[in-house]
């Protein structure tokens, strides 16, 4: 039996040797009957093949090792996500602060007409919340669309195989809520600056 990233070819060992296959097997899969004790079978095989120094691994251990390797490989993505979130927070804060400075006269007129600093803070935070809501909705839609393209188009064309699509609703809900909260928090400093605008100075300067 030989395998590749495009599937498996199964044949009798005699045919494999006849047509130029390698003389020695490098791996062997053992399938147990339902209810069999895998650990006991491994101990028995280890005792009977002690002179050959074979490595016998249970399927669940193999899966755990593979997942551990994948987690280590993609651990950098969590760092990149944290950096992206930090940059996004700074970007939102700077954008809101620029809007506050650009609308200084408008905010000053609102203060001049009786709006309190608390109301201006709420106004800026509300704008940030609306911006975060639109960004989260766009991110979810684009993320799902991109994942479908990667799974059903790019993977099949590039590797000849694909993976099962799974939508982690709980994780996406928590991540969206966290990003939305961070977006609202990023508006606190621009909101404070808007509340500190002197209505008289703002109107007279303009």
The domain in which residue 194 lies consists of: 74-205
**Domain check: are 33 and 111 in the same one?**
no
**Domain check: are 55 and 90 in the same one?**
no
**Domain check: are 83 and 51 in the same one?**
no
pLDDT in 10s for each residue of the chain, 206 residues:
444 555 567 777 777 777 766 666 677 778 888 888 888 888 888 887 777 777 788 888 888 888 888 778 777 888 888 888 888 888 888 888 888 888 888 888 888 788 888 888 888 888 888 888 888 899 889 989 998 898 888 878 877 777 788 888 888 898 888 888 888 888 888 888 888 877 777 666 55
**Domain check: are 177 and 152 in the same one?**
yes
Q: Which residue has the tokens 């047509």?
A: 19
**Domain check: are 176 and 112 in the same one?**
yes
**Domain check: are 131 and 34 in the same one?**
no
Where is the domain boundary, 48, 68, 88? 68
- Residues 17, 23 contacting (CB under 8 angstroms): yes
Q: Which residue has the tokens 């954008």?
A: 95
Q: Tell me which DSSP letter residue 33 carries.
A: P
**Domain check: are 117 and 98 in the same one?**
yes
Give the HSE-up count for residue 101: Cα atoms under 13 Å, Cβ half-sphere. Answer: 7
- Residues 194, 120 contacting (CB under 8 angstroms): yes
Where is the domain boundary, 50, 68, 86? 68
**Domain check: are 114 and 188 in the same one?**
yes
**Domain check: are 89 and 188 in the same one?**
yes
What pLDDT does 142 receive?
92
**Domain check: are 104 and 193 in the same one?**
yes
**Domain check: are 21 and 107 in the same one?**
no
The model carries a pTM of 0.56
- d(CA 198, CA 89) in angstroms, rounded, equals 27
What pLDDT does 1 receive?
43
- d(CA 108, CA 87) in angstroms, rounded, equals 30
Closest Cα partner for 107 from 205, 2, 178? 205
User: Cα–Cα distances in Å, from 152 out to 87, 165, 166?
Assistant: 31, 9, 13
Where is the domain boundary, 40, 68, 96? 68
Give me the number of domains the chain comprises: 2
**Domain check: are 82 and 183 in the same one?**
yes
């Amino acid at each position: 039996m030989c395998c590749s990233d495009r599937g498996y070819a199964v044949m009798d060992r005699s045919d494999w040797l006849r047509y130029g296959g390698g003389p020695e097997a490098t791996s062997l899969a053992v399938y147990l009957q339902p209810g069999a004790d895998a650990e006991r079978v491994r101990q028995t095989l280890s005792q009977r093949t002690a002179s050959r120094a074979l490595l016998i691994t249970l399927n669940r251990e193999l899966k755990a090792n593979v997942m551990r390797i994948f987690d280590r490989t993609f651990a950098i993505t969590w760092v990149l996500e944290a950096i992206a979130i930090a940059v996004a927070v700074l970007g939102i804060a700077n954008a809101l602060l620029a809007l506050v400075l650009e609308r200084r006269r408008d905010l000053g007129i609102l203060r001049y007409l009786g709006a309190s600093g608390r109301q201006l803070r709420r106004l800026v935070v509300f704008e940030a919340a609306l911006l975060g809501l639109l960004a989260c909705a766009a991110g979810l839609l684009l993320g799902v669309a991109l994942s479908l393209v990667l799974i059903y188009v790019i993977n099949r064309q590039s590797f000849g195989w694909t993976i099962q699509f799974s939508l982690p609703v709980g994780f996406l809900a928590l991540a969206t809520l966290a990003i939305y909260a961070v977006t609202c928090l990023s508006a606190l400093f621009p909101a404070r600056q808007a509340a500190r605008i002197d209505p008289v100075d703002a109107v007279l300067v303009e």
